[in-house]
Amino acid sequence: MSHIKYKRVLLKLSGEALMGKQEFGIDPDVLDQFSEEIKSVVAEGIEVAVVIGGGNIFRGVQGVTGGIVDRAQGDYMGMLATVINAMALQGALEKKNVFTRLLTAINMEQVAEPFIRRRAIRHLEKGRVVIFGGGTGNPYFTTDSAASLRAVEIEADVVLKGTRVDGVFSADPEKDSSATKFEEISFDEVYKRNLKIMDLTAITLCQENSIPIIVFDMNKKGNFKSLILGEKVGTLVSN
């Protein structure tokens, strides 16, 4: 185990990542790839917790701007969307014989266990992948904030933010060809440059609790495992 860099990790995936090339919903190929990546890391004896967004199904802001609902109601709808994604990931992992537990911040006993910190940690210690659904259970908080909060609560070694780009750049590399990648960057520099890697609440939680964040390309096969094994992948954000 000496080559393993992290023992317990919190993986944050966006709902949009599950869409693949579709306009909405869940791409079965992407779901299969992500579950295979997670399985390969679990096989190394790593404790993995996952938080998934719900933007591929519904976003609270979308409901507000569309005039459908108020912000709080829209956020609760978004939380339910994250549970749908979490259930999909759970199903994909269990098809690959990976033991999982789904815990939600909103009680829904028929489909998931309620989030209890000690229970979540015990599941991780037993080698189960723990998937957190329902965000923080409160409106006005993003799933980025939920990921950082859960990482602090389970005492994770690192928050791994899986995205479509390989790290943190000076500008959006999908829009600006001159954008340069940072191999490492401090939390203070992220604030100073106003880099949108996660929302400010999420970043502050990690900074105050000395939990590093690594932003990496989850779509590149083998990246997740390479990162766990200590290879330079993505961008390290730390104190």
Residues 34-76 have pLDDT tens digits of 999 999 999 999 999 999 999 999 865 565 666 777 889 889 9
Beta strands in 28-92 (DSSP E): 47-52
Does 100 fall in a domain? Answer: yes
Alpha-carbon span 67 to 61, nearest angstrom = 10
Q: How many domains does the chain have?
A: 1
Does 3 fall in a domain? Answer: no
Does 191 fall in a domain? Answer: yes
Residue 1: per-residue pLDDT: 43
Does 2 fall in a domain? Answer: no
C-alpha angle 115/57/128, rounded to 5°? 35
158-163 and 213-217 beta bridge pairing:
parallel
Neighbours of 116 (CB within 10 A): 11
Residues 6+ positions from 191 with CB-CB distance below 8 Å = 200, 203
Contact 54, 85 (CB under 8 A): yes
DSSP letter (8 states) at residue 166: S
What spatial distance separates the first Cα and last Cα of the chain, rounded to whole Å?
A: 26
Residues 172-189 have pLDDT tens digits of 887 888 889 999 999 999
Does 1 fall in a domain? Answer: no
